[in-house]
Structure 1
Amino acid sequence: MDCYEGKRYVAFFDIIGFKSWIKTDGSKKVFEYVKGYLDMMIKSSLPEATVNADMSVNFKIEYVNYIYFSDTIVYYTKDDSYESFKSLIIASNAFMNVFISGVSYMVRGCISYGEFYVDTETNSYIGQALIDAYELEESINWLGLCFDKPAVETENFSKFQHEYPHIIHKSLVPTLKTNLYPYALNWADNSKDKNGAIIPKPYETYKSLNEGISFNAYKSLNNCLERRTKEIIDNPKELEKVTERIENTIKFIEYCENYKKSL
């Protein structure tokens, strides 16, 4: 049993198109996928986790824990230290990269900071940080991870951005509801610092399972669009929204790549 009280960082993720996925493949097939592969992806995204040939995962809960239900995935830190914040970014980046680039499903998320109370024995997860992350995640018009204002205002955010300026940038398009331009994570980046990989490379993690898997972000985003198009082919209005979301994502990744070259 784990109990946490007080302020910490929370990353909220939502799988886009989950309802259509169930409608297309059926509840049982989606359930089996979530129970097996999604569970493995969530655990293996934790820092220093390793995936075995039988798809079991060796991991430990040191700085970041998680919970997921249906189409919602939540990572949260044990405290508000810099190491915890950094570990949350690593986990979030790895999860987004393998989910979008590995299996070509769309996901978006948000990291916030604030009160978040946890009791794993009773499955109780309550706090303003979770609400804030959920509300901002709903309004971003791209596939990615953004940072809510409370998280940006912490010293840990400034420290991380100073150390790794190519990983976090201002979004290029505003949010749908509040017309803000929040900071966003370049989840397609797999850079290394002088001490090793700050953001782990998903291919190295998963190559024992999928030798032929592609972690090309552009190709995977196109695969996401093709998959979603088949699901909503009779809904041109929704298809227009999805296409715009993918285009915004590609523009952001291209911007980040060009910025990195200028350093």
Structure 2
Amino acid sequence: MAQTQTPPSRMPLGAHAHAPDLPASDGHLVARALVMRYGSEPRRADERADGVAVDVPALGGVDLTIAAGESVAVMGPSGSGKTTLLHVLAGILQPTGGQVLWSGRDLARLGDAERTRLRREDFGFVFQQGMLLPELPAVENVALPLMLARTRRSKAVARATALFEPLGLAGLERRRPGELSGGQAQRVAIARALVGRPGVVFADEPTGALDQVTSAEVMRHLTSLTAHTGASLVVVTHDENVAAWCSRIVRMRDGRIESAEVRA
């Protein structure tokens, strides 16, 4: 019977000893007093003992600093604000109040084109379903962010190909997503997130559709490769086993950070 892998406090490079050198930014990601409300109506209301409705915003004043190379798991029940926090940190959503600073730059002061460029070049993304393009082979899915940034196709494909061996995907470069297992597809998505040499990788429930053994394998690759490149990693998850792979666990409730745990 296959056994799950126990996450270390900091995963060594181990099997990725031949990973390509992908230096990341040395910047910090800083959130200051983040508030997020959707539309003009309260996102939801809690009933106080006296029967008066109390507005609970999606984010209610979040302060969080993520250092270069740090891996942080954000946990919390449904509606706690963890996914909203990820989207605000990544510049996908603009907060109602507060700041997000990336390498000292205030994301709110950037124009739409600058934020798009930042998400394409400075940030990488891994989603629950991978979101690979079914008509493209795996290597072209990985190379796509570079080609969208007008990198020459041959150079983009070469850089993408270099990530397949350290992710245990050698020989699968020409397979389309429908010809890959769930774990293989997620590792292709990790390669796509890393190919642009980002400073931060955001992962939203990256193992939510996987079994426990495959989930551990995906997290091993995700944490070890981001650590090797120097990129920070922000993982939103409901799974304690997934969170245990990260160097810090932040727990949210009602749009606020309830606690933070630094792992040894």
Highest CA radius of gyration, 1 or 2? Answer: 2
Fold match (TM-score > 0.5): no
